[in-house]
Structure 1
Amino acid sequence: MRFLVAYLRSPPAMIGLVLLLVVIGMALSADWFYPRDPLSLAGRPLIWPGANPRFLLGTDNSGRDIAAQIFHGARVSLLIGVVATSIAIALGIVIGALAGYHGGWVDDVLMRVTEAFQTLPNFLLLLVFVAVFGSDIVTVTIAIGAVSWPAPARLTRAEFLTLRNREFVQACRTIGMGDGRIIFREILPNALPPVIVYASVIMAVAILLESALAFLRLSDPNVASWGNLIGLGRDVLRVQWYVSAIPGVAILVTVLAVSLVGQGLNDALNPRLRKR
């Protein structure tokens, strides 16, 4: 209850929540408003927004309805963000928990692997994954999650290092509780709040990474993603700039919403901030 009250008291958090609910509503209602395939031809190419009441946001280079792609693209972007974030958080928690709890050579090996992943930028690693394994939407989503785990791993490790010698952990060892139960049932629940907050950062970055891939035409061209639409608009950017601008605004709003929600979670879960 205190968490909910603290969250609702934050105006930026509420703005982010409202924006995120709007995007989720677009994703859920996409089939109702636009039941046809969003990548099917709908009219003549490059109709400006408002010029034809059938196409409120106009059409792209191929004559496809931009509004339909925006609504269906919300589903794609949210799905990529949620799945990629889940993969990154799951990998990060397991690796960080093992490193922080056991220490010693286990910590050294796992942290050297983590540092090896962090020596190269995420996007460069993502390009390598896509080049090797392909660019269908499932592969891209898994690849984004696979390059995003080092940060939550280091965060989880830091939390475990501060908690592994606490009294409740010593008591668990005294009564003969196994390491697995101590890690995942006793320590992890206490280490999760900062990891959950950081998940919002990973989700925002995941949406941006997929959009960047699509802009370079390295993502799946068979899905109606906002990045693909921006990439199409690149060819007519000087004249029909709206083709890229509209999905760009959608990405901006979604990333801003996720970031504000994450900030609100941090304010609500951080006891030092709650006291202010």
Structure 2
Amino acid sequence: MTADTTATPATGPRTLARQRRRASVARFWRQYRTHRAGLFGLAALVLCALAALTAPLTVGSHVQSVTDAPGAPLESPSGRFWLGTDQFGRSLLGLVVWGSRVSLLVGLLAAVLSVAIGALIGITAGHFGGWYATVMMRITDWFLVMPTLVLAIALATVMSRSLGTTVLAIGVTTWPTTARLVRAQTLAVESRPYIERAKALGGGHGHVMTRHVLPNVMPLVLAQTTLIISTAILAEATLAFLGLGDPTVVSWGGLLQDAREAGAVSSGDWWYLVPPGIAIAVVALAFTLCGRAVESVLNPRLGVPR
């Protein structure tokens, strides 16, 4: 009698972890695609991201030049310039496409910084408690009651005008909401029995926070990130419109500021104002729709309409 010698490869813990991650991603996508508004937002973001990534090929960096402008100042939309020209004769379509690179980059980086600060404070305050949590929450409350835009303007005013300053000004003023939410979730996670078992087995503070608390609050952090990005993009446009952005780069808020300085409102040059304004509104709405859909998938109790 011959024994079957066909061996099945052992399934290691890493393989099981990858399989679980793939299954989790597939389950998330199945639930996400049932949200029509979320799919619309995702499609709009994909198109905007493609336009930003391919801008060097489609419009080229020369579109920013004020010395080699191909048209006359403030030309109305035509077959040559679909969205008209600005006060220097540059194509507004090219400027809007190129400006998406800066606006999206600043929005993403500022949102990541904001969520990182909020998650760090929320997790540590929820884990350690005591006087540390009291101090951190009082600081959080102070930032919550202060107007975010006023704080961002103050920081952008006293620091040099650059993209890094804009990211820092937005990131350090928009984290309190994330800190509050993450702290509440951390307290809920810390009350579960397996946290007590981990501590009883010798798990230190770092082990508990990184191996047990952080994975459980990551869905909330992800949803909060998508929601904050829209706020960050609007804040960047506001700072640029007020003349506190980097004057050497083209952004949607900077285009609106240029249009205001050129007197586009009083002279009726609507094509100078409408395209960047619509771009800001569409991207902010798209991120908000995606964020609400992600929130609904990760927390079905919210009951976000589909």
Partner of 1:74: 100
| Offset of residue 272 of structure 1 | 3.0
1:14 to 13, 18, 39: 39
Cα offset for 1:58? 1.2
Taking a change above 3 Å as real, the CA distance of residues 271 and 168 of structure 1, as seen in their structure-2 partners, is: farther
Consecutive aligned runs of 4 or more in structure 1 exceeding 4 Å deviation: none
Deviation of 1:227 after TM superposition, in Å, equals 0.4
Any unmatched runs of 5+ in structure 2? 1-25
- 2-structure distance, mates of 1:58, 1:241: 10
In terms of mean alpha carbon deviation, does 41-50 or 220-229 score higher? 41-50
Note the C-alpha offset of 1:273: 5.7
Tell me the TM-score normalised to structure 2 length: 0.86
| Structure 1 residue corresponding to 2:142, chosen from 110, 116, 120 | 116
Give the deviation of 1:92 after TM superposition.
Answer: 0.7
CA drift at 1:245: 0.8
Unaligned runs of 5+ in 1: none
1:224 offset after TM fit, Å?
0.7
Q: 2:276 aligns with which of 231, 240, 247?
A: 247
The answer on whether the counterparts of 2:239 and 2:253 sit within 8 Å (CA) in structure 1 is yes
| 2:87 pairs with 1:61 | yes
Aligned pairs for 1:155-234 (under 5 A) are 155-234=181-260
1:28 aligns with 2:56: no
8 A contact 2:110–2:167 mirrored in 1: yes
Question: How far apart, in 1, do the equivalents of 2:277 and 2:171 lie?
Answer: 22
The 2-side partners of 1:36 and 1:228 are apart by 16
Distance 1:273 1:92, change over 3 A: closer
**Cα distance in structure 2, aligned partners of 1:117 and 1:15:** 34
3-state SS in 2 of match to 1:45: coil
Is 2:72 the partner of 1:47?
no
SS for the counterpart of 2:76 is coil
Identity %: 37
**In 1, Cα distance between the equivalents of 2:242 and 2:37?**
33
Q: What is the total number of aligned residue pairs between the two structures?
A: 274
**Displacement of 1:240:** 0.3
Q: Which has the larger radius of gyration?
A: 2
Instruction: Indicate which of 15, 27, 39 corresponds to 1:2.
Output: 27
Q: In 2, Cα distance between the equivalents of 1:194 and 1:147?
A: 19
Give the CA deviation at 1:193.
Answer: 1.4
Matched-pair contact (CA < 8 Å) for 1:197–1:263? yes
Aligned to 2:64, the other structure's residue is in SS state: coil
Matched residue, 1:272: 301
**2:227, 2:292 within 8 Å by CA — same for their partners in 1?**
no
Specify the alignment match of 1:136 in structure 2: 162
CA shift at 1:195, angstroms?
Answer: 2.2
Task: Tell me the secondary structure at the aligned position of residue 154 of structure 1.
Answer: helix
Letter in 2 for 1:47: E
Query: Any idea what the Cα deviations from partners look like across 1:5-31, whole Å, max 9, x if unmatched?
Result: 110111101100100001101101100
Distance 1:270 1:115 in 2: 26
Counterpart-to-counterpart distance in 2, 1:129 and 1:3: 39
Give, in angstroms, the shift of residue 97 of structure 1. Answer: 0.6
Tell me, yes or no, if structure 1 residue 257 matches structure 2 residue 295: no
Deviation at 1:135, TM superposition (A): 1.9
Q: Secondary structure at 1:237's aligned position in 2?
A: helix
Residue pair 1:232, 1:244 contacting (<8 A) in 2 also? no
